[in-house]
């Protein structure tokens, strides 16, 4: 769209406060980041599927070698659990997901805001300012 006049393009934006515009801008940036992450996950799905085939083959091969006494002790020791010493290669070689290959889904922040988000929320009236402790 070639319209560069905000009053013609989106006049309702001029009725919002600066804090509301800052919050809207932050929401749009989060949505763009999530879309980028989803595209990356989609691109990693084929790689994850192939990797899981290889991991399953390695686990099956290591188990077969161990069951037939052909796995060297040093290698077998790397696939034993610490507590009980049980041979368990599938504990150490786990299947991957496209999500994990793409860096994993970002963890939700619980109750924590960046200083800019806090200021915008206070200005919008959706958050009370912190009380200062007396020294």
Determine how many CB atoms are found less than 10 A away from the CB of residue 32.
Answer: 10
Q: How many residues does the chain have?
A: 135
Question: 46-77 pLDDT, tens per residue?
Answer: 999 999 999 999 999 999 999 999 999 999 99
- Kindly tell me the burial class for residue 100, based on how many C-beta atoms sit within 10 Å of its own C-beta (0-12, 13-18, 19 or more): middle
pTM, two decimal places: 0.57
Q: What's residue 128's pLDDT? A: 79
Give the burial string for 11-23 (b: 16+ CB within 10 Å, else e). eeeeeeeebeebb
């Amino acid at each position: 769209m070639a319209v560069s006049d905000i009053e013609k393009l989106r006049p309702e934006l001029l009725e919002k406060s600066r804090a509301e515009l800052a919050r809207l801008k932050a929401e749009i940036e989060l949505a763009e980041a999530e879309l980028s992450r989803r595209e990356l996950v989609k691109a990693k799905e084929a790689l994850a599927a192939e990797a899981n085939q290889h991991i399953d083959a390695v686990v099956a091969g290591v188990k077969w070698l161990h069951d037939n006494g052909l796995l060297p002790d040093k290698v077998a020791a790397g696939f034993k659990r610490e507590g009980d010493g049980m041979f368990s290669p599938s504990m150490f070689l786990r299947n991957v997901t496209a999500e994990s290959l793409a860096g994993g889904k970002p963890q939700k922040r619980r109750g924590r805001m960046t200083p800019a988000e806090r200021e915008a929320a206070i200005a919008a009236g959706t958050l009370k300012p912190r009380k200062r402790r007396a020294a």
